[in-house]
A and B are shown apart, each in its own frame.
Chain A
Amino acid sequence: MRRRTILTSAAAALMLAPAGRLFAQAGGEALAADHPLQAAWRSWKNAFLLPAGRIVDGPQQNASHSEGQGYGATLAAIFGDEEALRRIVDWTEANLARREDKLLSWRWLPGVALAVPDENNATDGDLFYAWGLAMAAQRFGKADYAGRATELARAIALHCVRPHPDGSERLVLLPGATGFETPDGVVLNPSYYMPRALTELAAFSGQDRLARCARDGADWIASLGLPPDWALVTAFGTQPAPGLSHNSGYDALRVPLFLLWSGLTANPALRRAVETAGGSASVDTPVRFDRETGAVLERSADPGFRAVQALGDCALSGRPGAAIPPFDARQPYYPATLHLMALVAQVEGFSACVPI
């Protein structure tokens, strides 16, 4: 079984286009202006990006999150959309950059007196936002983006990266600067690890701790089997986080996507997630699983979830062509964003997995 896994992984690795690394591209080139995927980006912007630069998560009380702003900044940089990026940055800096440690507050609520009732940060939002700025700095030659990206990278490395509770040299990425360290260990969210973003941001900013964190995180995720939404990591291992979902659900859906986007196709967690979800032929994609039994707890018709699954299917099967559905901005913000990211990951790193 292990041998077969390795062989298939090797086949899948062959399908990875070596030019997939954004920063490896000459001058950090964005997606060409006439690339057909630009239409999907325009649809995404029309659906979720307000003129002021705020990215709206409709079902979440029309709130905006640092995560959404970070995703938007990253996508804007990838699509070479400087104008959209500028709007996103302006709004984010004006409304979420209110912490002394330079990290972003995690949520902004519209139509209330106190738009940011909680100034805590969410590390994945900070990470994507910084990564997007770093890319933008290279692509658009903007020093202010570079400065802010470096500042955020330093803040993440300082406030959100901690030693492993087992006392080893391994590092963990806290979901936020405060509130995730308990006497028993640390509460982690596997989907907050985006190895490629951490690695490239480390290279950009010189924060080596981020790169180490990416490696250690990928190793930890590899040990999880089907990734949970949340987990408590102690000196003795990983266990369910009290009061938090230990199922593999909507949070954990991002884990295989980020592994794919990072080119980590040999990570066992990716295979486990793809195999548990089954084929991508069905219109209704399994989105929540019982980690113990692998039973499907919930399905969704949103094509964004299916896109992630289809890309994983293709990447691991070694069979060209992926059943990635065409981008559809009529789905909610979250699956739509995962959908667009899956398409970007395909274009950047899996040339053989072109949507059939």
Chain B
Amino acid sequence: MDMRLLPLLLLGALAPMAAAQDAPMIVIEGLTSEEPKAAPDAAAEATPAAEVAPWIIPMRSLAETTQVGPLFRLQGQQARAAFRLFLPAEAAGGTLTLAQRSSINVLPESSQVIVRMNDQEIGRFTPRQFGPLGAITMPLGDAVRAGDNLVTIEAQHRHRIYCGADAEFDLWTEVDLSQSGVALPAAAVGTEPTSFIAALTAQAESGQPIEIRTATPPDEATLRALAQALGRPFPDEALPLALSKPWQAKAGHTYARVTLLPSDVDRATIRRGGDGAVVLVLEHLPGGTPKASLVADLLGESRTLPPPTLPQIPPGRVVTLGDMGVDTILTDNRYFNRDIDFQLPDDWLLLASQKARIGIDYGFAGGLPEGALLLVKVNGTTVRMLPLDRGAAAVKPRLDIGFPARLLHPGPNRLSFESVIPGNPPDQPCPVAGDLMQVLSSTDLEVPPSPRMQMADMARDLAQVTPASVHAATPDGLARTLPFMSAFREVPGAAPVRLTVAGLHDIAAVPLNEEGLTPRLLALTLLPSTVSRLVERPTAPAGPPANALAPLGAAPGEGVMPPLVESNWSDRAQTFMEATLQPVIQAVRRMLRPGDGTLAEWLATRKGTAMVLAPEPGKLWVILGPEAEPARVAEALALAPRSPGGPRGQVAVLGADGRWSSWSKPGLLPELREPVSLDNVRSVVGNVASARPPLLLGGMLGLAWISAAIAVGFVLRTRGKGLK
């Protein structure tokens, strides 16, 4: 069954359609006075009144997600997810449809899924839809309101057979976001601003771009203002905006678009297009500029949820989880992970051996099986493994965990608590028990203060990007920048930053300042594997290679490995020496220049859809690969200032899974943003020495040489005097 039909079936009662009528056929043969030739027997060929599929106003994931495709998975014994749902007023009294399915491992009798709208439960169901997706509907009740709504889905799963951390990965319920939401008959969607915004969400979810339809595209500033106005109701989201011409046919259903029209008045109205789309028509004087402020005014009244913000941690002060807005964490999951994101000042920097501290107040149930563990992680690095299989107590004595402060970054960071509790026995369903582990809200974190220092880092520049920062690499690429313009918000007091959006074909314009970064390497990283494989295999030369030269244009890291079999003993000896010495050379190089290694080597092992370059402070370049969806990349970048996993350093690659890999140039010196004083000199020197060890080494050697020279001079002078 086509799942697209599900809501249609469900809406059967909602959308009374005009019954198709059997049109009488007028057949007029020949030409007589009684039966002249008629126009085509159109009655026979006309399509009767149509059944139009209802619109699904979709739910949009609230949290940063690496989900690829429309299926959102709630995994584990206890799982919870939050979604935005922007509804027009006409949705009142409607129903929420969830297209969902669960793992066959879920035991329905002991499991349930609870759905809440704006913190009010609107329904719960037993997960017993295995295999294909099934539709669950529930009335919205009086919890719904026009504008943004918060939908939370909480899944409580129990395994049929097994118990344990591994078994938890087999427990899931998936929601198809492309087919879940509030179904409305197409004709019922109105022309209010909330209707248009809701239609925009449906259009974005459809995978089709949101057209800005105009016979003559306006200038960049106007498009920027328009994209910004359209994006305002969607904090943290990027709209897949695209330019189109009025007469262009388009595949797929259209829910919403914007049309710019010359007129005798500046005016913004919302109408229905000939294809049923909700169209925001922005009229402007002929030859004049469309006034995007009219769009902002029209949409600005709509109620939207504020974007989430990260708690700020002031260095040098003890901050509890409660202070960060985190309640006591309780879980009965066998596998559990909870990330707590927080923000450090942008000019906080400690690279040496300073310690930060987590004071953890936790407890766990008795009788947990051997191997039960609680991992405490900072930015993905485990800083302590706490056994949960001995010494059980509801609240254990406070445990202070010191960890290297250099694990923390300026900007967003992540503290994680991850527990793994084997089943006991593992081959039977988990007994229904109380909470297995808790981390109290009194748990605290103390980050040592640092001198005000900064390293060159794209993360800091990204936090300053506003719609005005976004530019196209070439005039032809203007349309590609629209999602970026819609994604970013105004930043009060933002430093001037320029974000240039380029495609692979603009590669000639991209500043490849980083050593080892070549157009070929960049292209290989962003091209699909099927294509890059062809590029990576240059045609074999006719004869044996004279030496192992890298292909033309290749970076050093791409050099072809020396052949292991050679015809004479000297070549073999040379090869052996190279193979033996290479690791040593690499190790020494890493010691002298700690960090991510050369860019060429780093990039050679990475593949992505888009790349961000920070060739110099205040200048960012986004290069979109052929498989990149501009809106998805824009969204990932807009989230970056609050994402601990966001792009950092000088080069970052966005993988197909939505995760960033970042490369920082080794040996970059931090910049001190306050005077050197006795209070900060130790940290300053520590940061400099950690960033560039040879500097400390050289300095120390220099001091040693000076000391030695002084000593020698002293000895010589002293001895000379004695001899006299």
CB contact list, B275-292 vs A, under 8 A: 275-276, 279, 281, 283
Q: When chains A and B are docked, how far (Å) is the Cα of A303 from the Cα of B253?
A: 14
How many of chain A's residues touch chain B, expressed as a range?
35 or more
A53 in the interface (beta carbon within 8 A) = no
| B48–A301 CB distance below 8 A | yes
| A244–B36 CB distance below 8 A | yes
Distance (whole angstroms) from the CB of A146 to the closest CB of chain B: 28
Chain B, residue nearest A309 (CB):
B274
| A120–B49 CB distance below 8 A | no
| B274–A347 CB distance below 8 A | no
Interface segment, one of B21-29, B90-98, B673-681: B21-29
| A355–B31 CB distance below 8 A | no
> Inside 8 A of A37's CB, which chain B residues have their CB?
247
| A300–B48 CB distance below 8 A | yes
CB contact list, A306-327 vs B, under 8 A: 306-307, 310, 320-327
Distance (whole angstroms) from the CB of A27 to the closest CB of chain B: 23
A-contact bits for B233-257, CB 8 A (1 contact / 0 none)? 0000000000001111110000000
Chain B, residue nearest A38 (CB):
B247
Chain B, residue nearest A347 (CB):
B247
CB contact list, A17-76 vs B, under 8 A: 35-37, 39-40, 43, 57-60, 65, 67-68
B263 in the interface (beta carbon within 8 A) = yes
CB contact list, A239-298 vs B, under 8 A: 242-245, 249-251, 253-254, 280-284, 287-288, 298
Distance (whole angstroms) from the CB of B686 to the closest CB of chain A: 63
Distance (whole angstroms) from the CB of B274 to the closest CB of chain A: 3
| A333–B261 CB distance below 8 A | no
A187 in the interface (beta carbon within 8 A) = yes
CB contact list, B184-215 vs A, under 8 A: 186-187, 213, 215
| B274–A306 CB distance below 8 A | yes
B722 in the interface (beta carbon within 8 A) = no
Q: Which of A242, A327, A354 contacts B261 (CB 8 A)?
A: A354
Dominant SS at the A interface?
loop
Q: Which of B34, B248, B259, B273 contacts A36 (CB 8 A)?
A: B248
Q: When chains A and B are docked, how far (Å) is the Cα of A39 from the Cα of B246?
A: 12
B386 in the interface (beta carbon within 8 A) = no
| A323–B31 CB distance below 8 A | no
Q: When chains A and B are docked, how far (Å) is the Cα of A175 from the Cα of B35?
A: 11
| A243–B34 CB distance below 8 A | yes
Given contact pairs A182-B33, A191-B39, A354-B215, A36 touches B246 in the complex (Cβ within 8 A): yes
Distance (whole angstroms) from the CB of B265 to the closest CB of chain A: 9
B545 in the interface (beta carbon within 8 A) = no
| B33–A326 CB distance below 8 A | no
CB contact list, A163-218 vs B, under 8 A: 175-176, 178-182, 187, 189, 191
| B35–A243 CB distance below 8 A | yes
| A60–B41 CB distance below 8 A | yes
Q: When chains A and B are docked, how far (Å) is the Cα of A20 from the Cα of B670?
A: 68
> Inside 8 A of A284's CB, which chain B residues have their CB?
18, 49-50
| B215–A281 CB distance below 8 A | no
B44 in the interface (beta carbon within 8 A) = yes
| B39–A325 CB distance below 8 A | no
Q: When chains A and B are docked, how far (Å) is the Cα of A356 from the Cα of B263?
A: 13
Chain A, residue nearest B250 (CB):
A326
Residue of B34, B44, B46, B215 with highest tally of chain A CB at under 10 A:
B46
B271 in the interface (beta carbon within 8 A) = yes
Residue of A250, A298, A310 with highest tally of chain B CB at under 10 A:
A250
Given contact pairs A120-B31, A182-B33, A283 touches B50 in the complex (Cβ within 8 A): yes
| B30–A180 CB distance below 8 A | no
A230 in the interface (beta carbon within 8 A) = yes
Question: What are the 10 tightest A-B residue pairs by CB atom distance, in nearest-first order?
Answer: A59-B45, A301-B50, A325-B274, A250-B42, A120-B31, A332-B45, A36-B245, A251-B39, A36-B247, A300-B46
A-B contact pairs, 10 of them (CB 8 A): A60-B40, A68-B40, A176-B37, A250-B40, A282-B187, A283-B186, A287-B46, A320-B281, A326-B247, A327-B249
Binding site for A on B (CB under 8 A): 18, 21, 23, 26, 29-50, 52, 186-187, 213, 215, 245-250, 259, 261-263, 271-276, 279, 281, 283
